[in-house]
Structure 1
């Protein structure tokens, strides 16, 4: 059963998605490279043995360069697999050739599933979003998948949302199920949030 979204949240989400659709491709590509560089330089990611990440959708800050750089650095990378109930399972990332088309335009790893609790084994968790406020409340696309996943992540784990500049510090309507993140990565750098 689909959750009913508060009107304020829907309005903020719609505006941010519109802004992203207007973003030039050259800016999207440059943002992907810059975010990858900043995250790879972050001590929490450098020290991580396992990184939970995701394959970006059209319009999102691209994760392709980041995923390849994490693999090249010897990190174990796990990616989400969307389950029918909207929860997330996880599977190892073995490169772009190991990704298969899935529902909702997603690309998912074709390898063996690790279970929804696998995200708790990651030393760094990178998540998508449309915006984040200064306290770490993240605005996603409305399915609640990442809020469930973040609920499994141990306190103190590096949790970071990947965004464009101008999407950090946006007032985000809060619901009881919303899970906060501790960091935001943009083309300008990685910033700690007040969560």
Structure 2
């Protein structure tokens, strides 16, 4: 295990432990505030299609946000986890069309659009555990979104990449590896931080 990988593991554990301390009331209030901040983003205001995800457990809540985007007429794509940890995508047709899948995830029940469907998104909302002052994102370590970002880069599309986090998860620095991609913005319940290349 490299030093960077080991550092990432320690940081992930610390951030996940902090999320466990959040009360249900804090989670609910954060989800509402996060949706309000995100919906004001120009990247979402002008988007015709957004790749998002359904938050689970103690993740910053996304359900209010994805419902609001759908109500605006935005086509929302949600991930479907494949056996090899890659992601397929399907359109979000509302909360009644989510099914419980492996690892406790909620996935859309509609037709699968293929792993490349994400490359047509105007904005990609990414899960994460932290983002640093350079816009480098720390994910959970499964590599699913590393593949998504590599696929987007390979196709030549340049959607806005936005991470949704709690305020204390915007940190000075996260360990970086060659496959890591910077993001353009991070949204927390308290505001938006933008990064320049």
TM-score of the two chains, using structure 1 as the length reference: 0.94
2:170 is paired with a residue of what secondary structure?
coil
1:75-94 equivalences in 2 (<5 Å): 75-94=74-93
Structure 1 pair 5/79, CA: closer, same or farther in 2 (3 Å)? farther
1:74-113 equivalences in 2 (<5 Å): 74-113=73-112
2:169 maps to what in 1?
167
Question: Contact conserved, 1:55 with 1:63, CA < 8 A, in 2?
Answer: yes
Question: Contact conserved, 2:4 with 2:175, CA < 8 A, in 1?
Answer: no
Question: Contact conserved, 1:39 with 1:185, CA < 8 A, in 2?
Answer: yes
Question: Contact conserved, 1:134 with 1:194, CA < 8 A, in 2?
Answer: no
After TM superposition, the runs of 4+ consecutive aligned structure 1 residues lying more than 4 A away are none
Mapped to 2, the partners of 1:150 and 1:25 lie a distance apart of 32
Structure 1 pair 30/113, CA: closer, same or farther in 2 (3 Å)? same
Mapped to 2, the partners of 1:129 and 1:110 lie a distance apart of 24
| Count of residue pairs brought into register by the alignment | 193
Unaligned runs of 5+ in 1: none
Structure 1 pair 20/129, CA: closer, same or farther in 2 (3 Å)? same
TM-score of the two chains, using structure 2 as the length reference: 0.93
Aligned-residue RMSD, C-alpha: 1.6
Question: Contact conserved, 1:119 with 1:149, CA < 8 A, in 2?
Answer: yes
2:187 maps to what in 1?
185
Mapped to 2, the partners of 1:166 and 1:40 lie a distance apart of 21
